[in-house]
Structure 1
Amino acid sequence: MSAAAFAQPAPSVPEVKHRGLITVAIMLATIMQVLDTTIANVALPSMTGDLGASQDTITWVLTSYIVASAIVTPMTGWLADRLGKRELFLISIVGFVATSLACGLAWSLPSMVAFRLMQGVFGAAIVPLSQTFLLDINPREKAGQAMAIWGAGIMVGPIIGPTLGGWLTESYNWRWVFLVNLPVGALALAGCLIYLPRAPRKQRSFDLTGFAMIAIAIGALQLLLDRGGEVDWFASGEIWTYAVLSATGFWMFVVHILNTDKPFLEPAMFRDRNFATGLVFIFVVGIILLASLALLPPMLSRILGYPVITTGMVMAPRGVGTMISMLIVGRLVRKVDPRMLVIAGLLLTALSLYEMTGFTPQMDSIPIIRSGVVQGLGLGLVFVPLSTVAFATIEPRFRADATSLFSLVRNIGSSIGISIVTLMLTRNIQINHTELSAAISPYNPLLWQTSPAAVLGDPAALSRMDQMVNMQASMIGYVDDFWLMMCVTLAAIPLALVLKRPATP
C-alpha cells in the first residue's frame, strides 16, 4: 500500500497521571452497565410471582431498559459537551446505582418497569464515554491496548451475565441481580471522583428536531424487535406501526441533518471511511456475539438438560478465549496490519460456527467448550483492531458522538441478530417437526424395528417418540441458525479490505 493511503498520525496526548487507576474505575462502571443487559434475563421467572406479572408482561422489564438506553445513547456527545465528560460520567454512575437499588426494592411490575427505564436512561452514556476516556488518556501508540481492555469488558460482560444472574437468583434472591451493582458502582464512583481528569465544556446548540426523529426511529425499531416474537411479527398491526414509525423517523433524520446548519449528528463523521466501515463491522459483530449467546443457553437447557450453573460453566471458556485474544492482539495491532487481524478473527469465528453446525443431542460438553474458545478468540481478534482502526482517523471533536454511535449500532445489531435467529428457530422447529413426523408411520419398517409399541398405539411409546421428534426438530433448528451466522460472518470478510490502515505512530 502506498504511503498516500496512510492516515496522518494524530498528535500524542499529554501525559495523564494515574492512568491505570482511571482505567480500573472506568472499566468497573462499564462492566456494571454491560452486565445489566443480560444478567436480569434468567431472573424473569422468579420476578413473575413476586411482582404479580404474567409471562407476557414480565418481558417489559427487559424491553423498557433496552428502549430507554437506545434512545438516550445518541445524546451522549451533546450531553458531554454541555455538562462535561467527567460530570456526565459521574452523573451516569450515580443514577445507574440509585436506579439499580430502586429495581432491587421494586414492589410491582409498573414500579419495576419505571425503574428499569430510568436505569437505561442513566446507563446509556457509560459505555460510549468509557471508550472516549480510554482513547483520550492513552497516547496513539497505546490505543490498541486500551481498546483491548475496553473490549474485554464489553464482550465478556454479556457472557458471564446469565451465569452470575442465575447463581444470584438460585443462591439468594432475584433482587440481588440489581443490588450487586451497589458495591461495584460505589468503587467506580470513588475512583472516578478522585482520579478522572476534568474536560472543558463546549457550547453546543441542541437540535431538537434531529433528536426527536432519531429517538422515534430507534425507539420504534427496538420495540419492533422486542415485541415481534410475542405478537407474531407482521401479522400484528402493532408491529406494522413500529415499522412505519422507524422507517419514517430514519428517513426524516437523514434528510434533516443534511439540510440544517447545526445538526444533531455531524454528517462529516460518516465521510471518514474507517469509521463508516467500522459501524458496519460492529453491526455484524453485534449480531454474532449476542445471537449465539441467546441461542446456546436454551439449547443446553432444553436439549442437553444442563442446569443454569452448568450452562454458565460450559460457556465460561468462551469469555476466557476472548480475554486471551484481546490481551494478545492489543500488542499485535501496532505491528501487524489490523485488517489482517480482522480477517483472521472472522475466519476463526466462522470456523467455530461451522463446528456448531455439527452439534447433536448426544454430544458431551467438549464440542461446546472447544467451539466457544475458538469463537472467543475470533471475536477478540475482530473487536480490538476494529475499535482501534475505526477511531484512528476520525477528528477528535467527533469522538464522543462517534463512540455513542459505535455502541448504538452494536446494540442494534445485537437486537436484530437475536430477533432473526429466534424467529428462524421457531419457524424451522415447526417445519422440521412436520417433516420428521411424516416419517412416523405404521408403514415405515424402521419404526417397527425401533419402537413396535408405538406402531401398536401404546401411549407411553408415542409420548417418547414425540419427545424424540421434538428434540431432533429443535436441534436441526439450532443448526440452521448456526449456518446462517456462519454465512453472515464470511460475507463480512470483504469489508476488511475497505478499511484504511492507519499510519504507525
Structure 2
Amino acid sequence: MAMENSDTAVPHRGLITVSIMLATIMQVLDTTIANVALPTMTGDLGASQDTITWVLTSYIVAAAIMTPVTGWLSDRIGRRELFLVSIVGFTVSSMACGLAWNLESMVLFRVTQGLFGAAIVPLSQTFLLDINPKERHGSAMAMWGAGIMVGPIIGPTLGGWLTETLDWRWVFFINLPVGIVAFLGCTAYLPRIAKRLRGFDFFGFAMLSLGVGALQLMLDRGGEVDWFSAVEIWIELGLSITGFWIFAVHLLTGNETFIDPAIFRDRNFVTGLVFIFIVGIILLASLALLPPMLSRLFGHSTIRTGLVMAPRGVGTMISMILVGRLVRMVDARMLVVAGLALTAWSLYDMTGFSPQMDDRLIIVSGIIQGLGLGLVFVPLSTVAFATLEPRFRTDAASLFSLVRNIGSSIGISIVTVMLTRNMQVNHAELSAFINPFNPALRAISPGAASGDPTALSQIDQLVNAQALMISYINDFKLMMIVTLCAIPLALLLRKPSAAPAAPAAAHMD
C-alpha cells in the first residue's frame, strides 16, 4: 500500500516522528555545539590555534561528500536500514570523539561522525513526507524545520554550558542517550520500504565529491591562510570548479547517473534549491556573527550570549507552529514572501546596533528574524517537494540538505571576510581623525590630544570598537540586500494544486 495515500496507512506516526526528530536534532546540533569548546580542546588534544579548526573542518567536509549519495545507499540497502545504521554509527562516533586522546584521533572520529551523520537529515525529511498524507505535509515540514533551524541556534549555548559546567567531552557524550532513544524508537516503529536496485555511478560520485569537498575545504580554510594569497586556496578552487564542471557534463550526457537528471525538470524543486541556498546563507551567517559580536563588543559571557539569542529560537518555534497550519489555507508563495520581508526587516533593525545599547534591540530583531525564517522554511520545504515524484524524494532531500549546507558555508565565509577587511578599512578611516588638531578629540580627551600614551590607548580601544561595529552593520546590510533580492524568486514557484498528482512509488513491504 502506498504510504502517503491514507491517513491510517502508517501506525504509530507520532512515535515515528519523535524518534526521527531526536536523531535529526542530535545530528544538527553537532554542526555548532563543538564550536565554543575548541579553545578548551586545544590544550587537552595538544593542538595549536591553527590546527584545532580541523575538528570542525573534517566533520563538515565528510558530511558534505556523503550527503549526495544518500539516495543511492537508501535504495541499495533500504531506507530504514540506512537510517538505523546512520544513528548507530553517529552515536558511536560521538562517544569516540569524547574519548579522543590527541588531535589526530579526534579528526579521524569526526570524519567518521560526518560520514554516518550525512544521511540522517535528508532521510528524516523523506520519512516525514512518506508517513504523512499530502494534506499534512505542511505540518510535517514544520516539525522537521523546527529541528533543523533551532538546532544551530541552541548548539553554542548548550555547548558552552556543558564545557563550563562539566567538560568539553560532554559536548559529544550527550549524544549517547539521545541516540539510544532514537534508535530504539526507529527500530520499533519505522516502516520498511521496498528496496530499488540501481547501479552505482562511481565516476559521477567521485567528481561531485571532489567539487563539494574542495569547495568546503576552501571555504573553511580561507580565513586562516588569507584566502587567495595562499596557493592552497587556488588549488582547492581549481579542484572544485573541475569537479563540478565534469559532474554537470556527466549528468547531462551519461547513462544511469547516481542522481537522475529528471529531478531538475521540476521547477518547484529547482526554485526551492535556490531559496534554501539563500536561507542557509542568512541563517548560519547571522548565527556566526552574533556570538562573537556579543562577546567582543558587549562583554557577554557564553551563557548570557545564549540567553540573548534564545528568543530567536522561540520566534522560529512560534512561526513553525503557526505556518504548519497556515500552509493548508494560505498560498505558500505569499508565506515565503512574508517570511523574507520579516527577515529583511530584522536585518534592517540590526543595522541600527550600537556598542552603547542594551540587549533589547538584539532580542527583538532576533524574534522577528526567527519568525521570518520559519515562514520561509516550512512552505519552501513543502512546495519544493509538492510536485516531485515520490521516487525522487530521497535524492531530492539529500540535494536540499547539501545546497543548504553549501549556502551556509559560503555565507559564513563571505561575512567573515567582509568583517575582517571592513574592520581594517574602518579603523584606518576613523584613525585619521585622531590628531591633536581635532577639536572634538581635545574636548573628549585632552590627554590623548597632547599625546599621553594611556589616553591614546583608551581612544584606540574606542576606535576599534566603533570600527568593528560598523563592520558588523555592513554585513547585516549585505544580508538584507540578499534577502530582498530573493523575494521575486517566489514568483517562480507553482501552487501544488496546479501540478498533476505524482504517482506514489514509495511502498511498505
Q: How high is the TM-score relative to the length of structure 2?
A: 0.97
Q: How far off is 1:14 after superposition?
A: 5.9
Q: How far off is 1:257 after superposition?
A: 1.3
C-alpha offsets along residues 426-448 of structure 1, whole Å, 9 cap, x if unaligned? 00000000000000011111111
Residues in 2 aligned to 1:354 and 1:264: alpha-carbon distance in whole angstroms: 43
Q: How far off is 1:301 after superposition?
A: 0.3
Q: Does 1:356 align with 2:350?
A: yes
Name 1:54's counterpart in structure 2: 48
Q: Does 1:25 align with 2:19?
A: yes
Name 1:297's counterpart in structure 2: 291
Residues in 1 aligned to 2:226 and 2:489: alpha-carbon distance in whole angstroms: 34
Residue type at the aligned position of 1:94: V
Residues in 1 aligned to 2:8 and 2:75: alpha-carbon distance in whole angstroms: 20
C-alpha offsets along residues 65-104 of structure 1, whole Å, 9 cap, x if unaligned? 0000000000100000001000000000000000000000
5+ residue gaps, structure 1? 1-9
Among 325, 331, 339, the alignment partner of 1:345 is: 339
Residues in 1 aligned to 2:196 and 2:335: alpha-carbon distance in whole angstroms: 37
Q: How far off is 1:42 after superposition?
A: 0.1
The two structures, once aligned, show a CA RMSD in angstroms of: 0.9
5+ residue gaps, structure 2? 502-509
C-alpha offsets along residues 148-185 of structure 1, whole Å, 9 cap, x if unaligned? 00000000000000000000000000000000000000
Among 189, 195, 218, the alignment partner of 2:212 is: 218
Q: How far off is 1:12 after superposition?
A: 5.0
Q: Does 1:459 align with 2:453?
A: yes
Name 2:504's counterpart in structure 1: none
Runs of 4+ in 1 over 4 A off after TM superposition: 10-14
Name 2:159's counterpart in structure 1: 165
Among 18, 23, 32, the alignment partner of 1:38 is: 32
Among 79, 87, 106, the alignment partner of 1:85 is: 79
C-alpha offsets along residues 23-69 of structure 1, whole Å, 9 cap, x if unaligned? 00000000000000000000000000000000000000000000000
Residues in 1 aligned to 2:214 and 2:8: alpha-carbon distance in whole angstroms: 43
Name 1:286's counterpart in structure 2: 280
Residues in 1 aligned to 2:51 and 2:147: alpha-carbon distance in whole angstroms: 31
Residue type at the aligned position of 1:167: W
Residues in 1 aligned to 2:326 and 2:6: alpha-carbon distance in whole angstroms: 19
C-alpha offsets along residues 192-244 of structure 1, whole Å, 9 cap, x if unaligned? 01010111111110000000000000000000000000011111110000000
Name 2:175's counterpart in structure 1: 181
SS in 2 for 1:411: helix
Name 2:202's counterpart in structure 1: 208
Q: How high is the TM-score relative to the length of structure 1?
A: 0.97
Q: How far off is 1:285 after superposition?
A: 0.1
Residues in 2 aligned to 1:152 and 1:11: alpha-carbon distance in whole angstroms: 25
SS in 2 for 1:201: coil
C-alpha offsets along residues 294-353 of structure 1, whole Å, 9 cap, x if unaligned? 000000000000000000000000000001001100011011000000000000000000
Residues in 2 aligned to 1:384 and 1:12: alpha-carbon distance in whole angstroms: 22
Q: Does 1:66 align with 2:39?
A: no
Residue type at the aligned position of 1:35: L
Q: Does 1:228 align with 2:225?
A: no
Q: Does 1:426 align with 2:400?
A: no
Identity of aligned residues (%): 73
Residues in 2 aligned to 1:12 and 1:77: alpha-carbon distance in whole angstroms: 25
Residue type at the aligned position of 1:207: D
Judge conservation of contact 1:13–1:139 (CA < 8 Å) in 2: yes
Name 1:334's counterpart in structure 2: 328
Residues in 1 aligned to 2:258 and 2:252: alpha-carbon distance in whole angstroms: 10
Q: Does 1:117 align with 2:111?
A: yes
